[in-house]
Amino acid sequence: MNRARVVVAGMLVAVVLLLAACSGSRASLAQSATAVYAAGATVRLALQTDTGLFPTTQAALRDEMTQEAADAVSELETAAPDAADRGYRDAALQAARTVLDGIRLAAQDDTESAERSLDTGLDALAGLGAGG
């Protein structure tokens, strides 16, 4: 009887871990999408306001946000979501790449294109629940 309980308990633990892994997939994807959203929103805010930052400080901020967004895009690219989360990952990845492009355009002082790209990507990420 004790052996049966151990087997049943082991199976229950396996099921709980499997369910946690499945829900963790969406949570991990959403975390990456939120990281890109935060980086893009920071750059967009810097573009739209007179921050009073020195040009070197602005460049350092853009570099940091570029790296954060690129890391999150890389996480989305290498994620292996289940079938239920694949559509979310694909949409988040497309929007995240658009935001990353906008950050890079801002670094090249192409403000108009940067804002357009950032707005498009951030709106898409917000529609997925990131940044809200």
Band (15; pLDDT cuts 50, 70, 90): very low
Domain residue ranges in the chain? 24-127
115 to 18, 26, 92, 99, 100: CA distances (angstroms): 42, 28, 19, 9, 12
Task: Give pLDDT tens digits for 99-126.
Answer: 999 999 999 989 999 999 999 999 999 9
pLDDT in tens, 28-59: 999 999 999 999 999 999 888 866 778 788 88
pTM for the model: 0.77
> Other C-beta atoms within 10 Å of 10: how many?
10
106's tokens: 């801002």
pLDDT at 54: 81
